[in-house]
Amino acid sequence: MNERKKDTVKIFDTTLRDGEQAPGCSMNIEEKVHVARQLERLGVDAIEAGFPIASAGDFESVRAVAGAVKNICVAGLARCKPEDIERAAEAVKPALNPRIHVFLATSDIHRRYKLKKARDEILKLAVEGVKNAKEYCGDVEFSPEDASRTEPEFLSEVVQAVIEAGATTVNIPDTVGYAMPWDFGNLISMLMEEVKNVKDAVISVHCHNDLGLAVSNSLEAVRHGARQVECTVNGIGERAGNCSLEEVVMALRTRRDIFDVDTNIDTRQIMHASRLVSNVTGMLVQRNKAIVGENAFAHEAGIHQDGIIKERTTYEIMSPEDVGVDKSRLVLGKHSGRHALRERLVELGVELNQQQFEHVFEEFKNLADKKKQIFDEDLEAIVREELESLEDVRVMVDLLSFHISSGTGTVPTATVQLKLHDGEVITDAATGDGPIDAIYRAIDRITEMECNLSDYTIRAVTGGKDAMGEVTVRLDRDGRSERGRGTSTDIIEASARAYLMAVNLHFARTEETNMQKKC
Ligand code: KIV
Ligand code: ZN
CATH 3.40.50.1370, applies to 397-518:
no
Q: Where are the domains of the chain?
A: 7-281, 298-387, 397-518
Residue nearest to atom 2 of ligand 1 (CA): 175
User: What ranges in 69-151 are assigned the alpha helix state H?
Assistant: 82-92, 108-109, 119-134
CA of residue 302 to ligand 1 center, whole Å: 45
**Residue 307, pLDDT score:** 76
Cα radius of gyration (the chain): 25
CA of residue 17 to ligand 2 center, whole Å: 9
> pTM of the full predicted structure?
0.83
Buried b (16+ CB within 10 A) or exposed e, 134-167: bebbebbbbbbbbbbbbeeebbbbbbbbbbebbb
Q: What is the pLDDT along the chain (519 residues), one digit of tens a residue?
A: 556 678 999 999 999 999 998 887 888 898 899 999 999 999 999 999 999 999 999 999 999 999 999 989 999 999 999 999 999 999 999 999 999 999 999 999 999 999 999 999 999 999 999 999 999 999 999 999 999 999 999 999 999 999 999 999 999 999 999 999 999 999 999 999 999 999 999 999 999 999 999 999 999 999 999 999 999 999 999 999 999 999 999 999 999 999 999 999 999 999 999 989 998 888 889 989 999 998 888 766 667 667 767 777 888 899 999 999 875 455 688 888 888 888 888 877 788 889 899 999 999 998 888 887 788 888 888 888 787 765 666 788 999 999 999 999 999 999 999 999 999 999 999 999 999 999 999 999 999 988 899 889 898 887 777 888 889 898 998 888 888 889 899 999 999 999 999 999 998 877 766 666 665
**Residue 450, pLDDT score:** 82
Helix (H, G, I), strand (E, B) or coil at 60: helix
CA of residue 176 to ligand 2 center, whole Å: 8
Query: 105 φ, ψ to 5°?
Result: -70, 140
Probe residue for ligand 1, chosen from 103, 149, 204, 243 as the CB with the greatest number of ligand atoms within 8 Å: 103
CA distances from 96 to 73, 294, 351, 445 (A): 7, 37, 21, 51
CATH of region 7-281, choose from 3.40.50.150, 3.30.70.100, 3.20.20.70, 3.30.1360.10: 3.20.20.70
**Residue 328, pLDDT score:** 47
Residue nearest to atom 8 of ligand 1 (CA): 18
